[in-house]
Structure 1
């Protein structure tokens, strides 16, 4: 854990309004901040970066201090507690900020979150109806009403993306089961729980967020009371309720809904927050209310979560959204390009070019979106028709700059444990049964083959074993995969899963 003061020169964060800055200097600071973001993304990985740094913005660099803003107090506290030194080091290097970093919460005018509107309707005091107000006309909550009069749920929900509907979701072999379950749940009448909880897990950019947001929007159209949260918004809502002494109202409102949806549940941390999350899940399930949860891994692999929560989540329908096969990538890319053509009637891409691009961009849906936008830009800016050559030039950065995934020993241990139906603790233990020894040796072999770690280091990461034990395991698996074709294919599959 990285801790420390973000600003060396002051004990408290700078939160005063900054003096106006020249446009050129602001633009320069934003360019340098983009370099900091690229560093953070490369070091921490896409998942961590998207969860904690995607919404951090640069204000200005004043007197050697980089002033950064975040949308919530929870995010500010989390960054100060966990990433203070890392932020400070990168900002000193890229932003010419020798005096460190100051974080503050920006006041952003936005409309009320729809999930909170459902919950707020249950308040004891009558609410006066009012017409919808454009986002630009909404004042910050702190300026509109006193804190004592605001509903404790006003700041906790997460806005839905209107584009993420069942109609815009492209279905293929890898996501058909998840899509069918999602549709069944959203259309089921209130009080009916076809699969409870529904647990969706997938890697980055494979559509799990799209699918659960589609559930939320469709279920609301069926008259259900829906609460949709990302993990950080759930944590922030609970912490804010505790600080404002409205935790009881927060809990009662959560238990009064028909459908609870939580995205990126792997990021829920803190003992008291996990306890409340577990109590909420139990109360809703016992009351016949539906739970939908999304994460990046199986429930059994959420080691940071309380064991009782993991057990509860694993007790429902667990569905993996798999990697996008080539046929599905073609369908997704075709859909994206058709959407762009609606705004640019002269824009046209031949099916052969679409198939070619879908073959090259084999990672996830977000990269396919990027490919579609690059092809459009290339065609409209140059005026040239889209050929194989122009498409390849347009997406070159997507294909060439992608580096092989950096494999971690912990990831190897988790994947092998799941594949062979043992626990990671078994692999690290002293147990010598055949059911444990073989997975342990395969994991050691993969650690040697896929990571730069030395034999002694690998031994230490496998329960403090001697390097000779690791060497024996590596040689045994090397020999076995030559003699056993099934084992060869199994180990090769594990390698590809770890490197993708």
Structure 2
């Protein structure tokens, strides 16, 4: 019999067994436990079946393993054992285990190689019976790009980063300093990056049991455990974790789920196990959360991640461009365009990523040079979203002229006396800071000046603001006049 015929027979036998399971246990049980089973291989008297998670593997093996073996023996009488393995994120050929005198058997599928010697949180490899409980609760996927080194530090996130680093580098058995650590901030401010990089760094440094879960993943696991009457085992597994990280707590719905999370949180904190939680707003504003959970979170360290300031946005863009230039070595991304993006896209880091991707894609796909005009065109939807809340250049020119006792005509004229130059520079700085208009357009609105003149004015005012308190007060007054 050829290899192809053997494979076909194995697949047919697998489909026949699954069909019998569907008929015997019904559609609901079949969909929950058997539909995801794949037939991987057969070596001698051993059939290897794969499932997507360690939790499903343990449940199917413990509750249906004998019945599945009986059904296989109806298809092939010489089958003596069924082996269940967990599929990795990257499917690889099954490797044979070293031969054993008693009963040779094929090895499970190997998971994708990890970046360190620590076992993967997201693709646990098959283990012995003694280790099955440890792997039964696998974590949410970790993005390998998220590291503490790649997390850009700024005034808005330095405290959150410092606390997370302390958690990540803590030695096994070391006293817990901040527990629970609660990090909150709006979408795109870096919470997920911080939690995932903390989990990855902790796994790399120490032998602690580290588990990263989204709130939705936690909820799914708990509901499945309740349905399958394994809630007690789920609780024991969860409370044996040394470092638990829960992301997007605002999505933790359901009173029963929240109650169990509260019990687990109390058990871990009382047992000196570290817990790190992230949400999009302060715990006091998570109205759907159980009061006892909010209270326990409030007893720890709560740290806000704020909106990235101009300096941090520049750092983020510089790092993103460095990554792009690795892929496109000839990429020319002028500094004035980077400055325009940093000043114009003020919402969050994800929008900054999107802005860089758009400009690089347009450059690489069309050959168009990355210029200020191209940036303004490519990012017009990001800029338009902010335009309605911002003053017009005419309004800025009006209030600046009134405040500094010059005429609007002076601001757009060619006059270069100090009494006119400084108000003009302030007006240009405000136009660049408070409107989404590009440097060339601002230059045109100030008497047809070149964009480099506008850029010089912006940088001049930036440098003066650091030490000139009178100028800073003048600009704050002008902003209030515009808002009036």
TM-score, with structure 2 as normaliser: 0.54
- Partners of 2:109 and 2:242 in 1: CA distance: 26
Kindly state the Cα deviation for residue 283 of structure 1 after the two structures are TM-superposed. 0.6
- Contact 2:249 / 2:278 at 8 angstroms: preserved in 1? yes
Q: Quote the residue 1:318 is aligned against.
A: 302
TM-score, with structure 1 as normaliser: 0.52
Q: 1:163 to 1:295 in 2, by over 3 A?
A: same
RMSD: 3.4
Q: Quote the residue 1:158 is aligned against.
A: 140
Q: Quote the residue 1:329 is aligned against.
A: 313
Q: Quote the residue 2:322 is aligned against.
A: 338
1:226 and 2:233 are equivalent in the alignment: no
Q: Which SS does the other structure have where 1:235 is aligned? A: helix
Q: Which SS does the other structure have where 1:169 is aligned? A: coil
- Contact 2:137 / 2:234 at 8 angstroms: preserved in 1? no
Q: Quote the residue 1:451 is aligned against.
A: none
- Partners of 2:152 and 2:353 in 1: CA distance: 13
Kindly state the Cα deviation for residue 155 of structure 1 after the two structures are TM-superposed. 6.6
Q: Which SS does the other structure have where 2:152 is aligned? A: coil
- Partners of 1:291 and 1:404 in 2: CA distance: 42
1:203 and 2:186 are equivalent in the alignment: yes
Kindly state the Cα deviation for residue 151 of structure 1 after the two structures are TM-superposed. 6.1
- Contact 2:225 / 2:234 at 8 angstroms: preserved in 1? yes
Q: Quote the residue 2:225 is aligned against.
A: 241
Q: Quote the residue 2:163 is aligned against.
A: 181
Alignment of 1:486-497 (within 5 A): none
Kindly state the Cα deviation for residue 258 of structure 1 after the two structures are TM-superposed. 0.6
Alignment of 1:435-454 (within 5 A): none
- Partners of 1:307 and 1:133 in 2: CA distance: 41
Kindly state the Cα deviation for residue 257 of structure 1 after the two structures are TM-superposed. 1.1
- Contact 1:156 / 1:237 at 8 angstroms: preserved in 2? no
1:215 to 198, 219, 243: 198
Q: Quote the residue 1:270 is aligned against.
A: 254
Q: 1:188 to 1:151 in 2, by over 3 A?
A: closer
Q: Which consecutive unaligned segments of at least 5 residues does structure 2 have?
A: 1-26, 32-51, 54-85, 91-105, 114-122, 390-475
- Partners of 1:354 and 1:182 in 2: CA distance: 30
Q: Quote the residue 1:412 is aligned against.
A: none
Q: Quote the residue 2:235 is aligned against.
A: 251
Kindly state the Cα deviation for residue 153 of structure 1 after the two structures are TM-superposed. 6.3
Q: Which consecutive unaligned segments of at least 5 residues does structure 1 have?
A: 1-11, 17-70, 73-107, 113-127, 136-140, 406-488
- Partners of 2:335 and 2:280 in 1: CA distance: 33
Query: Based on CA coordinates, which of the two structures has the bigger radius of gyration?
Result: 2
1:132 and 2:110 are equivalent in the alignment: yes
Q: Which SS does the other structure have where 1:285 is aligned? A: helix
- Partners of 1:310 and 1:129 in 2: CA distance: 46
1:111 and 2:111 are equivalent in the alignment: no
Q: 1:361 to 1:379 in 2, by over 3 A?
A: same
- Partners of 1:370 and 1:257 in 2: CA distance: 36
Q: Which SS does the other structure have where 2:246 is aligned? A: strand
Farther-moved stretch of structure 1 (275-284 vs 381-390): 381-390
- Partners of 1:183 and 1:252 in 2: CA distance: 28
